[in-house]
Amino acid sequence: YAANAMLATRISFMNELANLAEKLGADIELVRKGIGSDPRIGFHFLYPGCGYGGSCFPKDVQALIRTAQEAGQGLKVLQAVEDANETQKSVLTGKIVGRLGEDLSGMCFALWGLAFKPNTDDMREAPSRVLIADLLARGARIRAYDPVASHEARRVFAGESRIEFVAQPMQALEGADALAIVTEWKEFRAPDFPAIKSMLKSPVIFDGRNLYDPAVPRKAGLEYFAIGRQ
């Protein structure tokens, strides 16, 4: 529990620094490289994004908090880690609403990534679930792609007619107003940005995993919103 709680703490810490970097006009990638170069810290689990999920980190952080409460001791730092992570899962929603407005009725969003992390079909506590719920609540439709988690997503969102699952990432862009990236699958790392621009109704990418140097999609004529990057 303590090991996973420590790793979750690093993630939430970086997420909060990334949010601060946006406010201050700083670049969280430079901060990450700076503090990661300190051998006492290292680079592992220093990547900001739209929150952690899965079967281990959320459960183990909550279990350790509960164990401490039962022993009559609060764990203020870990409670803050949990709270920060829940808030971070809505960070992409905030960026989308800030750019396109609160009412997303009639809009369609391409979604790349459903699993909580690459190389799994696990959607437990996945940030994609929060984003999808937020978009649907605002009247949007979704065209989603994930290399392996689509079958699990069909189960999770069974009966939801406003979500379409496609077999290829570029298929998700057909008829979409904007693209949101939620899972850092390797196949998303070098896309055809001019093709993305030509397919989207609004040439906007909301990147919850900081996959790209912001200058690259912008050079192709895309608006690019990442986590803690200018």
**Over the range 195-230, which residues count as b (16 or more CB within 10 Å of their CB) and which as e?**
ebbebbeebbbbbbbbbbebeebeebebebbbbbbe
- For residue 172, the model assigns a pLDDT of 98
For 211, the 3-state DSSP assignment is coil
Distance between CA atoms of residues 34 and 54, nearest Å? 28
Contact 203, 222 (CB under 8 A): yes
Instruction: Just list the catalytic residues.
Output: 56
Q: Is 25 exposed, middle or buried (0-12, 13-18, 19+ CB in 10 A)?
A: exposed
- For residue 200, the model assigns a pLDDT of 97
Q: Which residues of the chain have pLDDT under 50?
A: none
Q: Please tell me the pTM assigned to this model.
A: 0.95
Task: Supply angle C-alpha 26, 22, 51, rounded to 5.
Answer: 120
- For residue 73, the model assigns a pLDDT of 95
* Cβ neighbours of residue 50 closer than 8 Å, sequence gap 6 or more: 88, 89, 91, 92, 127, 131, 182, 208, 209, 227
- For residue 152, the model assigns a pLDDT of 97
Distance between CA atoms of residues 135 and 108, nearest Å? 9
Give me 97's structure tokens: 């609403």
Q: Which of 62, 164, 176 is nearest to 114 (CA)?
A: 164
